[in-house]
Structure 1
């Protein structure tokens, strides 16, 4: 009876790890539209919202990718974008 319990626990542990891995991958999906809540803070120098700050933190691993995109570079690399990131406590990456 003990062997089936151990096997069941091992299976549950594997499933939980697999689910956690999927969540991590989903958290770093690079989608520039996720930063739309920051547009007003970047373009008009208004203070960033809580949502903006959470999205910048979430999308931080993607910023270098965005900087390589000519259509996004001027938006992401602007002085105001760097100021918003700083205000949100998110260090701007060195790409």
Structure 2
């Protein structure tokens, strides 16, 4: 946990914290889906670790490959992994018509 980051007390708090952190990427759209219910019994879910899917569209991804886009997203939440976030599926794209001349 980074300095000044309050502890995460429940799934709703974690969701709000993730959404707040991802605002650093100035998203045009952002959808955060808690998929933890799909991973019940999975070893990574033990102890309450959550599984999320993030769908984010941002101009900041322009000119970047998939790996670089994912790194930007992970940089926003790195200290929350592997607990309280066990897994983060990322769909990162640029706005439609972005990058076209």
Q: TM-score, normalised by structure 1?
A: 0.29
User: Higher RCO, 1 or 2 (CA under 8 Å, sep at least 6)?
Assistant: 2
Q: Which has the larger radius of gyration?
A: 1
Q: Which has the higher strand share?
A: 2
Q: Which has the higher helix share?
A: 1
Q: TM-score, normalised by structure 2?
A: 0.28
